[in-house]
Chains A and B, each alone.
Chain A
Amino acid sequence: MLKFLIRRILLAISVAVCVSILTFGLLHIATDPAIAIAGEDASAEEIQSLRIAYGFDRPLYVQYADWLSKAVRGDLGVSPYFGLEVRSLIADRLPITIKLGSLSIIFALVLGIPLGVIAAIYPNTLIDRLSLSVAVFGQAIPNFWFGLLLIYVMSVQLRLLPASGTEGIQSFIMPMIVLGTNAVPAIMRLTRTGMLEVLGSDYIRTAWAKGMLPRQVYVKHALRNAVVPVVSVAAIQAAHMLGGSIVVEAVFALHGLGSLAYESILRSDIPTMQAIIILFSSFFIIFSALSDIANAYIDPRIRIL
């Protein structure tokens, strides 16, 4: 187990480093950072002096090494657009994104798991096909449009929910639904498959033979065993939601990391872009490493090693 743990963590670190190198390279090759800061109509001398001042004239790998050495110590640079340290920008916007993300993943689980369980209990019936249709729709609908649709229905027609802003929990309901709906299909399908497999096993037959009631068999005996892979998938879906939050925060005017990313992209604010891309990647890398480790722990073959 220890050997596995070490290998998995090393893999995570090397992936993270690779991502940071790729991102750094991409961003610095895609555009001239000096022009980005100075503006399109600055004179050639202004641009050149900016270039030297910021160190953009150094070779790329030197710039990267410089960035990396500062980053591991928590210094993510300064945003040329906002004029603030990147890390305080992020710290400022992080709470809203965390709130939105947690609500969304909880919503996805609360909707997806029961749908999957019901689909497994009544396989190949109307209920099953309906749940599958919900899953298919959730995957196909463009999330920004879904958000606008919800706004139109809830805010305009029914006047139930606020269309934007962050006053209280109501402002998070529609964004939560939009973000969560993207993850429901995967969660629902996985629950359904897991439940179908578990329901065919011997110990479920034993539970029925004991005279246990359906509720006890499906939840206490079956779901407990079927839900394990779902949790790790949920973690990865949560990481994906970060990407979706860019659009959702834009539609609902929430000031989280997603909208920070959007703003920094529009302003060619490279340090901030870099930091956020690495941050989002890190979430995914950490969550998938955690879920791999958790799965390995459950699998006795790996645990003993």
Chain B
Amino acid sequence: MTVDPFVNVEGLSIDITTARGTIHAVRDVSFTVERGKTLCIVGESGSGKSITSLGLMGLLPGSATRRAARLELGGTDLMALGPRAMADVRGSHMAMIFQEPMTSLNPSLTIGEQMAEMLTRHRGASRKLAFEKAAFWLQKVGIPAAATRIDQFPHQLSGGLRQRVMIAMMLMCEPEFIIADEPTTALDVSIQAQILHLLSSLQRELGMTMIFITHDLGVVSRIADDVAVMYGGQLVETAPTADLFARPQHPYTRGLIDCIPIPGKTKPGAHLGSIPGTIPSLMGALEGCAFAPRCAYAITECRSGKLELTPNSANQSVRCLHPIGGAQSLAVTMEETE
């Protein structure tokens, strides 16, 4: 997909051992992200998108096994790094922002303490300097009265403010790569736009490469350079954003797009598209296409054998025996609303 990718993932598979069997949470996922660009990974809950990011960060639980042909960040082979080396990379060169700001900060440490330790740990800064930097960054992410906030505890801040603190905390060491796992899902709609805007501008300013995980296609259309759609632990389609919306190839992608109401176009009372059925179990071997049970276009061949992710054009790949044609009318609609 790209010439000199900053993030290079090839054949990533993650299995989780449970009492009831092995869950194949991520199956043979490959993607690349160019330096400075944003890749959005889209999918429902249970599609494996969060686990993929945890796998990248090396934050998988003990019951999980990670395999990959290639897992590179800026040329460094992440698979070859031991625990200490990985801990040095995390926070310093790669950072992650989580979904629940209400529970992701330590309730018994002050904001300043949690932030300052990033610099004392990774940059060898003195406590004084680290706290000063923390105050600086709080201001940078738009938190007023930073000097007061530094000594406060997380429970004294609202959800939106806590997420800003998270962002500031994770970006303090100016990492080259950041994963944002649904950072706005748990926030009020009014705050969501602010946080998105904050993230985008910081990304541009610091020249970071970003993977943004979401189930919200509206967000995708706003910030993504490229999109990867996941279903049942697999990548089913990858494409640059505009191409994905203009010419979705995979029936699942088409279904997701159809679910979005379009202001001005969708008539009140009209049926929003929905995808019938539920996500598949991730245990056991996969026969054919994971989406087949819910697919309106499924044919007999879809239910057996192994499907590969095949490139469709220069930048687009799809894992489907029966990719649908582009929907020109949809492309026109998207342009109208932008």
Query: Which residues does A use to contact B, with CB under 8 Å?
Result: 201-203, 205-213, 216, 220-221, 224-225, 300
Contacts and interface: CB of A to CB of B under 8 A. Distances in A.
B87 A205 contact: no
Contacts of B90: 208-211
B121 A203 contact: no
A224 B153 CA distance: 14
B107 interface: yes
B89 A211 contact: yes
Contact of A225 (B84, B96, B106, B155): B106
B109 A210 contact: no
Interface stretch (B97-105, B201-209, B323-331): B97-105
Contacts of A203: 103-107
Contacts of B104: 202-203, 205-206
Contact of A224 (B57, B108, B121): B108
Contact of B59 (A205, A216, A220): A205
A212 B59 contact: no
A283 B113 CA distance: 37
B95 A209 contact: yes
Given A212-B121, A300-B155, A202 B108 contact: no
A210 B91 contact: yes
B117 A216 contact: yes
A210 B175 CA distance: 11
B31 to A, nearest CB: 21
Given A201-B103, A211-B88, 14 more contacts: A202-B103, A203-B104, A203-B107, A207-B106, A209-B91, A209-B95, A210-B118, A210-B170, A212-B91, A213-B84, A216-B121, A220-B117, A221-B106, A225-B108
14 contacts: A203-B103, A205-B98, A209-B59, A209-B98, A210-B91, A211-B87, A211-B89, A211-B90, A211-B92, A212-B87, A213-B121, A224-B106, A224-B108, A300-B155
Nearest to A201: B103
Interface in B95-150: 95-96, 98, 100, 103-109, 117-118, 121-122
A203 B87 CA distance: 16
Contacts of A225: 106-108
Nearest to A123: B62
Contact of B57 (A202, A209, A213): A209
B169 interface: yes
A302 to B, nearest CB: 15
Contacts of B117: 210, 212, 216, 220
Nearest to B115: A210
A212 B117 CA distance: 8
B23 to A, nearest CB: 18
A202 B100 contact: yes
Interface in B165-217: 166, 169-170
A201 to B, nearest CB: 7
A226 to B, nearest CB: 10
A38 B111 CA distance: 71
Q: Which 3 A-B pairs have the closest CB atoms?
A: A211-B91, A211-B90, A202-B103
B130 to A, nearest CB: 13
A202 B117 CA distance: 18
Nearest to B84: A213
Contacts of B155: 300
Nearest to A207: B106
Interface string B59-90: 10000000000000000000000001001111
Contacts of B100: 202
A216 B91 CA distance: 14
Contacts of B108: 224-225
Given A203-B106, A224-B109, A300-B155, A208 B59 contact: yes
Given A210-B169, A211-B88, A202 B107 contact: no
Contacts of B88: 211
A25 B11 CA distance: 79
Contacts of A220: 109, 117
A57 B90 CA distance: 81
A220 to B, nearest CB: 8
Interface in B236-260: none
B105 A206 contact: yes
Interface centre among B57, B104, B106, B166 (most CB of A within 10 A): B106
Contacts of B106: 203, 206-207, 221, 224-225
B157 to A, nearest CB: 14
A209 B87 CA distance: 8
Contacts of B103: 201-203
A197 to B, nearest CB: 13
A224 B92 CA distance: 25
Given A208-B90, A209-B57, A221 B109 contact: yes
A213 B98 contact: no
A206 B104 CA distance: 6
Contacts of A300: 155
